[in-house]
């Protein structure tokens, strides 16, 4: 539905009172919020809802002086099926695994859920593209016979594999385990899993990003070569930026999402997280392509031919058009060294022969509001009110067979007191929208179309768009909460610390989830950790900074080409931005 901005409906619904938030929790989730926490819950539930109300009114007040890249002269004028065993590879060993408690000797980062070793021993294995590669799988992606927790304490053991698992095995990889993720994948920082926080390998007292937190941490630490994450708002790219690795969210539908825990079909994506751009391109080539089952795939995705994404990596960027998106560098959360690293990356691309300019996409700011309106009510509906059966079957810890959706409905409601704070406020906000603004999905879709068109217009002018991946670097982990006792007795101040840890991390990433465009984060340098009250931290910790590249639909090859050029031009570990002003040589982590 196309409409001028003036014709778009304005989201309108009442914000709940403190008492209404309390009653909503009891009536919908049979849980009474602790009295001393009510004001905190009310504050953050209303924050979510206020985003949905106000997000369409924010306009960019920008001038050409806000960013130092005038448009190049050359661009001035162009403005329920039968489930069968997925383990069909000759010689695949019996599946056994080792569960790894957080903070154990083998799990110092808290990034593993379990370890295993699954591969095929066919004779031609050495000729396959992923031969010798150790792959770890995010713990919302099913593996037959391996318990799946999705950041909770609820074990569900699938009876089949995700097609992504079978593709990796067929390509010669060894699956070495499942990676920890955030509670129901609803956190951009790595402190919400029931098992414990995932620590950043660059600085273990800091978070690793979320929700594919374990994937990025294990790849960055060298415990795995490749990982498969999922991305509904930045969950491959944010951990990539936080840990100094490469995270990709492909075009919507390019990589099948079959059987994977999702939130809302149009924003669900799976993608690779790796140490290098070349490895990322290699893994995407294995994962991409319709599987015949994924209903999220568009007609184009279903018919897109296989691409060798490694083929054009070394072509360089000479003649490519790179657009720095002004809105991507806007405050309030933008840290100066992150902005500087982004601008320096653009200058570096210009020095390598790219035509670099700036572009404004004012509707970029609406994406978070669209996400809130469509995703939160959809998650609530799916988890607690839908009666539709899921195609993925599995068993609980007692051996009872469930479809995945029925398992979550029954077991989540039986363990409401142990929900993470982030998940609880998201569910309360989503339930309020579901009840008081049932048109939220329709309104979100109306706003989504102009946003997609504005990106299409920018991508007619430029081959690739450039942003900071996140507006800020990683922050220190808070005191961990996981049990019902810990949550019920947590202070309001600690809950607020939990809520605010992820603020600002998805401002730039969520847009490409809403539009479906491919996006990739690549590390470009580091900056000193920020103090809690602003300025630099006194502990001397240096943290990675990533930039994000966005391209047209199914143009992942262009993103890899630009990312590879940045990666090869200088090792990101060697460049530290101090106070946003000076550039100094400083090793962050071993290359």
| Distance separating alpha carbons of residues 310 and 556, to the nearest angstrom | 10
| Distance separating alpha carbons of residues 410 and 408, to the nearest angstrom | 6
- Catalytic position from the list 187, 211, 212, 454: 211
Task: Please enumerate in sequence order all residues whose Cβ is within 8 A of that of 84, keeping only pairs 6 or more positions apart, or say none.
Answer: 160
Burial of residue 443 (CB within 10 Å: 0-12, 13-18, 19+) is buried
DSSP-assigned letters across all residues of 504-565: TTTTTTHHHHHH---EEEEEEEEEEPBPTTSSB-TT--EEEEEEEEEESTT-HHHHHHHHHH
The token pair that represents 320 in the structure block:
């490519």
Confirm whether 211 is a catalytic residue: yes
- Catalytic position from the list 189, 213, 235, 420: 235
- Catalytic position from the list 22, 87, 115, 138: 138
Confirm whether 331 is a catalytic residue: no
CB 307 within 8 A of CB 556: yes
Q: Which helix (H) or strand (E) holds 299?
A: helix 299-303
Nearest to 312 by CA among 564, 561, 569, 559: 561
Burial of residue 580 (CB within 10 Å: 0-12, 13-18, 19+) is middle
| Distance separating alpha carbons of residues 112 and 115, to the nearest angstrom | 7
Confirm whether 235 is a catalytic residue: yes
SS3 456: helix
The token pair that represents 484 in the structure block:
């019902």
Q: What is the dihedral of CA 28, 29, 35, 41, to 10 degrees?
A: -80
The token pair that represents 499 in the structure block:
């809520």
Q: Quick one: DSSP state of residue 199? A: B
Q: Residue 211, preceding bond cis, omega within 30 degrees?
A: yes
A 10 A CB-CB count for 450 gives: 17
Long-range contacts (CB closer than 8 Å, 24 or more residues apart) made by 405-413: 407/154, 407/156, 408/154, 408/156, 408/383, 409/383, 409/384, 411/154, 412/152, 412/154, 412/383, 412/384, 413/29, 413/30, 413/384
- What residues are annotated to the active site? 138, 211, 235
């Amino acid at each position: 539905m196309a409409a001028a901005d003036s014709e778009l409906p304005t989201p309108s619904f009442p914000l709940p009172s403190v008492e209404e938030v309390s009653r909503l929790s009891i009536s919908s989730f049979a849980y009474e919020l602790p009295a001393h926490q009510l004001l905190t819950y009310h504050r953050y539930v209303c924050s979510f809802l206020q985003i949905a109300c106000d997000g369409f009114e924010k306009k960019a007040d920008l001038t050409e002086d806000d960013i130092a890249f005038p448009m190049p002269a050359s661009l001035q004028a162009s403005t329920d099926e039968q489930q069968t065993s997925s383990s069909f590879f000759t010689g695949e060993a019996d599946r056994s695994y080792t569960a790894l408690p957080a903070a154990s000797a083998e799990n110092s980062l808290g990034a593993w859920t379990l370890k295993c070793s699954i591969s095929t021993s066919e004779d031609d294995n050495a000729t396959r593209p992923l031969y010798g590669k150790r792959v770890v799988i995010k713990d919302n992606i099913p593996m037959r016979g391996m318990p799946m927790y999705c950041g909770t304490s609820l074990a569900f053991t699938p009876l089949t594999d995700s097609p992504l698992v079978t593709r990796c095995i067929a390509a010669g990889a060894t699956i070495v385990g499942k990676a920890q993720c955030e509670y129901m994948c609803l956190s951009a920082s790595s402190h919400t899993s029931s098992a414990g926080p995932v620590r950043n390998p660059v600085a273990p007292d800091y978070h690793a990003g979320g929700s594919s937190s374990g994937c990025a941490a294990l790849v960055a630490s060298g415990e795995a070569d490749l990982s498969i994450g999922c991305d509904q708002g930045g969950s491959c790219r944010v951990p990539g930026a936080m840990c100094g690795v490469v995270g990709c969210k492909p075009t919507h539908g390019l990589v099948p999402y079959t059987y994977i825990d999702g939130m809302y079909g149009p924003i669900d994506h799976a993608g690779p997280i790796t140490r290098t751009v070349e490895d990322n391109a290699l893994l995407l080539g294995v994962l991409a392509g319709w599987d015949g089952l994924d209903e999220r795939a568009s007609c184009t995705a279903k018919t897109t031919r296989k691409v060798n994404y490694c083929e054009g990596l070394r072509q360089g960027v000479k003649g490519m058009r790179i657009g720095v998106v002004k809105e991507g560098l806007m405050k309030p959360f933008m840290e100066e060294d992150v902005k500087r690293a982004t601008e320096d990356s653009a200058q570096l691309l210009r020095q390598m022969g790219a035509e670099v300019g700036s572009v404004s996409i004012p509707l970029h700011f609406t994406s978070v509001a669209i996400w809130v309106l469509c995703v939160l009510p959809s998650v609530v509906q799916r988890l607690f009110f839908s009666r539709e059966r899921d195609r993925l079957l599995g068993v609980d810890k007692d051996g009872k067979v469930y479809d995945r959706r029925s398992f979550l409905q029954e077991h989540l409601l039986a363990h409401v007191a142990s929900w993470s704070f982030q998940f609880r406020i998201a569910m309360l906000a989503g339930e309020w929208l579901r009840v008081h603004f049932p048109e939220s999905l329709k309104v979100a879709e109306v706003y989504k179309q102009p946003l997609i068109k504005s990106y299409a217009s920018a991508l007619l002018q430029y081959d690739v768009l450039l942003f900071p991946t996140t507006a800020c670097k990683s922050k220190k982990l808070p005191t961990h909460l996981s049990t019902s006792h810990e949550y019920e007795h947590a202070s309001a101040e600690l809950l607020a610390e939990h809520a605010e840890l992820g603020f600002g991390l998805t401002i730039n990433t969520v847009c490409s989830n809403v539009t479906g465009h491919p996006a990739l984060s690549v590390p470009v340098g580091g900056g000193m950790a920020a103090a809690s009250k602003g300025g630099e931290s006194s502990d001397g910790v240096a943290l990675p900074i990533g930039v994000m590249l966005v391209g047209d639909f199914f143009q992942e090859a262009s993103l890899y080409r630009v990312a590879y050029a940045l990666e090869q031009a200088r090792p990101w570990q060697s460049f530290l931005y101090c106070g946003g002003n000076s550039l100094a040589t400083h090793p962050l982590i071993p290359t």
